Amino acid sequence: MEPVRLVRVCLTLVVIFSCGCGAHIASAPTLKTDQALLIFHNRLPHEVEVLYTSDFCYKCVYQSLVHVKASYNNVTAAISTKFPLSLQVESNKRNAILCRWNQTYEEGGHYSVWILRSDNASIATCIHTVDRKPHNSYLPILVAALSLAVTALLFVVAPYIYRKCRTLKFAKTICCHRPQYSLDNDEAHARQAEDSATKVKHKRLRSLDAFRGFALTVMVFVNYGGGGYWFFQHAPWNGLTVADLVMPWFVFIIGTSVVLAFSSMQRRGVGRLQLLQKITWRTVVLLTLGFCFLNYYPRDGPLSWSWLRIPGVLQRLGFTYFVLALLQILWGHKENQQKGGHWWATIQDVVLYWPQWLTMIILETLWLCITFLLPVPNCPTGYLGAGGIGDNGLYPNCTGGAAGYIDRWIFGDNMYRYPTCKEMYRTTQPFDPEGILGTINSIVMGFLGMQAGKIIIFYKGRNIHILCRFLVWATILGISAAVLSKCTRDEGFIPVNKNLWSLSYVTCMGCLSFLLLAGMYVITDVMGWWGGQPFIYPGMNSILVYVGHSLLGFYFPFSWEMRFQGNHWEWLFQSLWGTALWVIIAYMLYRKKFFLKI
């Protein structure tokens, strides 16, 4: 039988390459980014159905892709190339799986799948051929990365080398022409050194502004589409992408800034009532901006209450800021109460703030109890899935479990109606990633940032102690995230999930935040190798940049209607162009010393 089968396959391949596949390619529809073309050729005497599912979709039910009629019929389908796909061919006549395969298709490629007879009547042979080679979808981002690297060398390394050369020349001048100082000069220089020390003592922490600006720049780039690459867009449900990193970083920075700013104001004698008035005003402004201005886009059509989204990014940031600032006002002024000789002296930056820690423990316990114990109608208790076709299609209306149920009960339809899971999981329920239950863990994330601020204050001038404590916190949080998620995307006790702001997501992002802040602190504030440019400019005007790009993002010159949608070149250029414009605007405002403060 083997020689006969070999001859049959050879003859089949001859037929395939002699039947004029080019005709199918010529009449193929135009492909968009992250799409490939599949042409199914049915050579069986009965109709077949092709089904598919994405490997990124957790336990998802197979969905119908195409039906191919019997005897030399062909059907064309455009498929996504973002994630690996599992496909199978079923016989409509016998309701049996004829063949099954898993493959990652590449962008712009044209592929043929030949469904042929086999010696075994219960199965078929599926042969793949490439009609048109795919193009390299990652070439645009590689070119962009190299261009940005060259730009960084020009604007960062070159001035650094120039300053070093000037310093060497100055040192040679001093060595060759050493002046003679009198006692009066020594006293004057001592006073000058003391004044310089005082200035250094009160200088602004550049690493924090650079961190904030870096997070904001990535956020703007992501909101402009990230070049259309899937890893610059939010994960469909569980897991992490670049887009899932930026908001927790921003929340972390809010916590650090609250501690540094309020400690300074409390040392200057600003009263609690004044501070309370200040945080209330700022919170109201943030809530108003988020609710009234950032809920509308031109694509939404006429203003209508029916599409108005009540939760939102600025609403969550405003409420998180208010809670963190309130904790700092009530129990925050402790840095002057440092005491040695106690067993807890090495962790005094934790012990002295025990009321704040008790509040966080209560909040996190509340999140855990509601998430895993609250009964949700027609859903399993403690469900953390996306619903829809996930989990074998058993819980189609349970998107988000308790978090989604609470938001739908309170807000109704005034929520985000296009969650990231909608396309892949085929969900029908609205779900808001900035909902009520997730805000609890947003506060916890900000509190981790407050801990970073306390470390900076308690161990000011002792950089090794600061860095060691940052690394200890990063290690503790990283291990916690690994245990909770079991180092998997979907199988952990609590999966890493940005939509839910799960506990493992907070610990994972807390780990990354401590590491990133430690790195920026070393190279900017300790070693002075980098001044934070260009991120420091949007970092010092964060509200203006965020609100501005949200309101004007759909208008020229920040974006335009793209003409070349078959690859990532134009989309990536548009995303980088819009982001660069806001960095330039922030730089011009920085030069003019204009900073929008609330």
Structure tokens at 293: 């201005």
Tell me if 558 sits within 8 A of 549, measured CB to CB.
yes
Question: 3-state class of 488 per DSSP?
Answer: coil
Helical spans, DSSP H, in 224-339 = 246-267, 272-288, 313-331
d(CA 505, CA 360): 16
Q: Do you find a cis peptide bond into 557, omega within 30 degrees of 0?
A: yes
**What single string gives the DSSP state of each residue in 38-62?**
EEEEE-SSS-EEEEEEETTSTTPPP
**How many CA within 13 A on the CB side of residue 591?**
7
Tell me if 226 sits within 8 A of 576, measured CB to CB.
no
d(CA 449, CA 117): 63
Tell me if 484 sits within 8 A of 492, measured CB to CB.
yes
Question: 3-state class of 114 per DSSP?
Answer: strand
Place of tokens 């309170």: 410
Active site members: 234
d(CA 167, CA 158): 14
Q: Which helix (H) or strand (E) holds 412?
A: none
Amino acid at 313: V
d(CA 575, CA 578): 5
**How many CA within 13 A on the CB side of residue 358?**
6
Q: What is the DSSP letter of 476?
A: H
Tell me if 522 sits within 8 A of 534, measured CB to CB.
no
Q: What angle do helix axes 503-520 and 463-485 make, rounded to 10 degrees?
A: 150
Structure tokens at 572: 């990536």
In the chain, DSSP finds a helix count (H) and a strand count (E) of 19, 8
User: Residue 149 pairs with which residues in a beta bridge?
Assistant: none
578 alpha-carbon distance from chain centroid: 18
β-pairing, 110-116 vs 63-68, is unpaired
β-pairing, 125-132 vs 110-116, is antiparallel
Place of tokens 């934070």: 532
